Amino acid sequence: MESRHAFDLVIRGGTVYDGTGSAGTMGDVAVRGDRIVEIGHVTARGARELDAAGLAVAPGFIDVHSHDDFAVLLEPLMPFKVMQGVTTDVGGNCGSGVVPFEAGLIRFRRMHPDADPKPWDGFGGYLERVDEARPSVNVAVLMGHGSLRRGAIGIEQRRPTTDELETMKGWVREGVSAGAVGLSTGLIYEPGRYAATDEIVALARELGGPSGGLYATHMRNEADGLLDAVREAIAIGEGAGVPVQISHHKASGRRNWGRVRESLALIDEARARGVDVTADQYPYTAGSTSLAAVIQNGAFRSDSPGGLGQLAGEHVLIASAPGHPEWEGQTLASLAGRWNLDAGSAAERVVATVGDACFVITFTMDETDVRTVMAHPTTMIGSDGVPTGGKPHPRLYGCFARVLGHYVREQRVLKLATAIHRMTGMPAAKFQLTGRGVVRGGAFADLVVFDPATIADVATYEEPRRFPAGIRAVYVNGVEVARNGAHTGARPGRAVRRGR
What's the distance, CA 348 to chain centroid?
28
**Would you mind telling me the total number of residues written for the chain in this entry?**
500
Interatomic CA distance for residues 192 and 195, integer angstroms: 6
Region from 93-101, 114-122, 204-212, 331-339 binding Zn ion, contact rule CB under 5 A: 93-101
Least distance (Å) between residue 331 CB and Zn ion:
22
Least distance (Å) between residue 200 CB and Zn ion:
15
Contact between 218 and Zn ion by CB under 5 A: the answer reads yes
Q: What is the largest CA-CA distance in the chain?
A: 73
Nearer to Zn ion, 42 or 94 (CB): 94
Least distance (Å) between residue 40 CB and Zn ion:
41
| Residue 303 neighbours by CB under 8 Å, 6+ apart | none
Among residue numbers 23 through 52, which ones bind Zn ion (CB under 5 A)?
A: none
Interatomic CA distance for residues 421 and 213, integer angstroms: 20
Interatomic CA distance for residues 90 and 405, integer angstroms: 23
Classify residue 274 as left (phi > 0), alpha (psi -120 to 50) or beta: left
Nearer to Zn ion, 94 or 207 (CB): 94
Rg (CA), the chain: 22
Least distance (Å) between residue 192 CB and Zn ion:
10
Region from 72-80, 163-171, 216-224, 387-395 binding Zn ion, contact rule CB under 5 A: 216-224
Nearer to Zn ion, 94 or 439 (CB): 94
Contact between 250 and Zn ion by CB under 5 A: the answer reads no
Region from 18-26, 175-183, 215-223, 278-286 binding Zn ion, contact rule CB under 5 A: 215-223
Least distance (Å) between residue 66 CB and Zn ion:
11
Interatomic CA distance for residues 397 and 71, integer angstroms: 14
Region from 127-135, 210-218, 267-275, 318-326 binding Zn ion, contact rule CB under 5 A: 210-218
Question: Among 94, 317, 401, 490, which residue sits at the site for Zn ion (rule: CB under 5 A)?
Answer: 94
Nearer to Zn ion, 145 or 472 (CB): 145
Least distance (Å) between residue 355 CB and Zn ion:
20
Region from 213-221, 369-377, 388-396, 429-437 binding Zn ion, contact rule CB under 5 A: 213-221
Nearer to Zn ion, 218 or 498 (CB): 218
Least distance (Å) between residue 248 CB and Zn ion:
6
CA distances from 293 to 186, 252, 296, 357 (A): 11, 15, 5, 11
Interatomic CA distance for residues 87 and 66, integer angstroms: 12
Nearer to Zn ion, 46 or 186 (CB): 186
One-letter amino acid at 141 equals: V
Region from 88-96, 113-121, 177-185, 392-400 binding Zn ion, contact rule CB under 5 A: 88-96
Nearer to Zn ion, 17 or 282 (CB): 282
Is residue 419 a contact partner of residue 374, using CB atoms and an 8 Å limit? no
What is the SS3 assignment for 438?
coil
Number of residues that bind Zn ion (CB under 5 A): 2
Nearer to Zn ion, 138 or 383 (CB): 383
Interatomic CA distance for residues 113 and 319, integer angstroms: 15
Nearer to Zn ion, 28 or 224 (CB): 224
Exposure b/e, 291-322, CB count within 10 A at least 16 = b: bbbbbbbbbbeeeebbbbbbbebebbbbbbbb
Least distance (Å) between residue 249 CB and Zn ion:
11
Residues that bind Zn ion (CB under 5 A): 94, 218
